[in-house]
Amino acid sequence: MKNINKLLYFFLLIVLAACQSNEILFENAICIKNISTIDPTDGLKENQTVIIKNGKINKIIDSETLILSKENTIIDGSGKYLIPGLWDAHVHFAYIEALAPSMFDLFLSYGITSVRDTGGNVDFVKAWKDKALANPTGTPRVMMAGPLLDGEPNVYDGSDPGHPELSVGLASVADVVTQVNMLVGKDVDLLKAYEMLTPEQFIKVNELAKANKLKVTGHVPLSMDVISASNAGLNSMEHMRNLEISCASNADELWEARKKILAEGAAETGATLRSKIHTAQRGLAVKNYDETKANEVLAVLKKNETWQIPTLTLNTLFSGRYYARPDYQESYAYLPDSIGRIWKENSKILANSPVEEVRKNWEDWNLMMAGKIHQTGIDMMAGTDTPIALLTPGLSLHEELMVLVKAGLSPLEALRTATINPAKYFNMENELGSIKETMWADLLILDQNPLDDIQHTKSIHTVIKQGKVFGRKELDAILQKLQND
């Protein structure tokens, strides 16, 4: 019996030693175990273990095949969901300069790990980009365009609080060359063309961008149709701006009227002139929407790979009324006091304002057109225009995803617009936007499945920025500090 007991004891030692030898230690790494990953291309995979090392995704392993040593740094992902960090592809650091110092913390707290600034004083915006480069694990990545490249009179000229000086007014093609060369020297990531450019100026912007391997985004100039702008090289359109005219059965009539307004309004401010044109023509264009013309226009956009950033939350401002919800207004507490008070007052005014029929038709057209653009197969990115129109930095991107789903995208398709698509736009898809080995570990851990309901992107448990972990406690501390400042 004594010999049998010794044999059993020896056998147990061998079994325990074997078990211990199967345990794996990943040194200087973070292990997220037993989590469901949602890759924007591959979709949902359950029960995965994701190893993060040196700021990148080092390994992705089926949890059932892995025994982690207790010496690892482990985050238990049981019942949770992992998605790539989100992009807001249309922001303006310079729109409210007093808010800019809060924007990094707001973006990070709401899971926005990359942003695309689409217009502002180049030195002001570059200062924030430089801060991001100096602290890549604690701030969102910043891609910038510099100022709006506009003609004369330029729209965002600083003439009133609603039109701060985000643009430069360029009087000639020579001015375009000088300005673009300066911006290239400032290491901008793209160029932003605007509505008052002449066709000759617009074409030159695109020529110079191509020569310098930069993309051009922007608004189709008021003096051009969408097909001409796309054929000139426009890489992406913001807000679907001026698309409605090109899709109208009475487009020729509207163009003639527009030329006359532009010629007669040369002495007006750019903001006044642009507003006059949109007020006079948007309703008529939507009323005369022509499906056949729209199909022709979208076919050109698809062929030319002219991406769309529809900013639907902004474009359905009056009927969507996100600002009327108490849960949305809670985010105003994280803004500087003076700004938060104004936003709350303006929210009440807007929430109690009736929606005129012409505006409701315009907003319905935007939802319809975004769905049609998606069905056509034109690539889209999620962007908000924050902090314009009471759009809280960070939180507003989640609103945008919800409206994209309302327009007809599936939750997974909506996630692509804020993850892999912006990465592709900047030729960064081999390092960002997916949950794959060797990618930067810009990740969100969610408590609920966003494929069941896109609103669940707001159920943020943890934000990871290039391998640095911000748990709910750290995120709440960031928001609390913003509230106290």
Map 102-130 to HEC letters: HHHHHHHHCCEEEEEECCCCHHHHHHHHH
- Are 150 and 46 within one domain? no
Identify whether 16 is part of a domain: no
Backbone angles phi, psi at 371, to 5 degrees: -65, -40
CA 1, CA 4: separation in Å to the nearest integer? 5
Identify whether 440 is part of a domain: no
- Are 62 and 201 within one domain? no
Q: Which residues of 392-410 are buried (b: 16+ CB within 10 A; e: fewer)?
A: bbbbbbbbbbbbbbbbbbe
Report the sign of the C-alpha dihedral through residues 98, 104, 105, 110, in that order. positive
Identify whether 323 is part of a domain: yes
Domain end among 60, 79, 98:
79
CATH number of the domain within which 65 lies: 2.30.40.10
- Are 163 and 255 within one domain? yes
Quote the Cα angle for 304-305-306, to 5°.
90
Identify whether 254 is part of a domain: yes
Identify whether 203 is part of a domain: yes
Cα torsion through 379, 382, 385, 389, rounded to 10: 120
Number of domains present in the structure of the chain: 2
Name the stretches of the chain with pLDDT < 70.
1-21
- Are 192 and 255 within one domain? yes
Helix/strand/coil percent split, the chain, to 5: 45, 20, 35
- Are 341 and 362 within one domain? yes
Domain end among 79, 103, 124:
79
- Whole-prediction pTM value? 0.94
- Are 241 and 289 within one domain? yes
Q: Which residues of 155-186 are buried (b: 16+ CB within 10 A; e: fewer)?
A: bbbebeeebbbbbbbbeeeebbbebbeebbee
Residues of the domain holding 37: 22-79
- Are 98 and 199 within one domain? yes
CA 317, CA 457: separation in Å to the nearest integer? 21
Identify whether 276 is part of a domain: yes
What is the DSSP-derived secondary structure letter of residue 316? T
Angle, in degrees to the nearest 10, between helices 251-264 and 270-287: 170
Identify whether 236 is part of a domain: yes
- Are 41 and 118 within one domain? no
- Are 69 and 169 within one domain? no
Identify whether 314 is part of a domain: yes
- Are 180 and 74 within one domain? no
CA 170, CA 97: separation in Å to the nearest integer? 24
Report the sign of the C-alpha dihedral through residues 179, 182, 184, 187, in that order. negative
Domain end among 79, 102, 121:
79
- Are 30 and 144 within one domain? no
- Are 72 and 119 within one domain? no
CATH number of the domain within which 149 lies: 3.20.20.140
